[in-house]
Structure 1
Amino acid sequence: MSPFNASDLQRIFETIDRNGDGFVSIEELHWLLNRTGVDFISDDLESLIGKSKIDFDEFLSLYESISEINRGGEEIESDLLNAFQVFDENRDGFISCDELHNVLVRLGLWDDKRCVRDCRRMIGAFDVDLDGRLDFEEFKNMMNYSSHSSS
């Protein structure tokens, strides 16, 4: 099952379709993939897709393909869910800037002087739907990016 439903994907598509032409260009798709921690060179992305822009149906197909490739073991998923729940202090299904800041301070990873602005930057780097907080999928992308960049 896909972590995003069609409505979520439609909102994401509309968000990254910055010029509102009903298509996502390679540049717009590259922007999204970079924000979610997936590294592609624009030329490689265009040769993979076979065209310079895609419509919503093609976007759905691409998303499903990437989701299939990126499916990890259930154990990793469970560990990530447990970590997510540590940060989601109010159990609303999202990690806000305040929650991220509180947990990082409580874990001793940040001192209390480190500002919420730094948390906003961290969240902003992975906040695909641009709502100012991380849902579980965005959190997984952040954690996967962190593990890949530290290898």
Structure 2
Amino acid sequence: MPSFSGNELTNEQIDELRDAFERYDLDANGTLSAKDVRLALISVGYEITEAELYDLIHSVAVSDEQELDLQKFMRMMAPRMAHVDSDQTLCRTFSIIDRDRDGYVSVQDVRAIMVVLGEVVTDDDIKDICRAVDMDGDGRISLRDFISFMHSPI
């Protein structure tokens, strides 16, 4: 499997990136403009701000180059593909924990998953877990809270 700056891409990821690149290379000149790069990124599940976009482009572009060829696009995306995949896994995990499918993990959901995992926890332990994962402090655990917590340093 090709490696881009130390990040291995699977054949599936290479195909996905190539498809995204070709889909947004509307004039078929073999390069993507910054706007097209952003659309391609969104199509593979990577939402970014405009500032982040230009930082990404400059991480692989030569001097003030504003367009990327396929090779540079893949080199730019290689470290991010693992992030996208892990977020997809976290979304699936969240949906399993969110038993009533209301978009939030409740105290009861946390208690149920702890039972399934065979963990013996007190009500205070569960409240502490919920407080720790509730990253925005609104009293409930959303998908965004869950992903932020899982990516936060321990």
Q: How high is the TM-score relative to the length of structure 1?
A: 0.45
**Greater relative contact order structure (CA < 8 Å, 6+ sep):** 1
Larger radius of gyration: 2
Greater share of residues in strand: 2
Q: How high is the TM-score relative to the length of structure 2?
A: 0.44
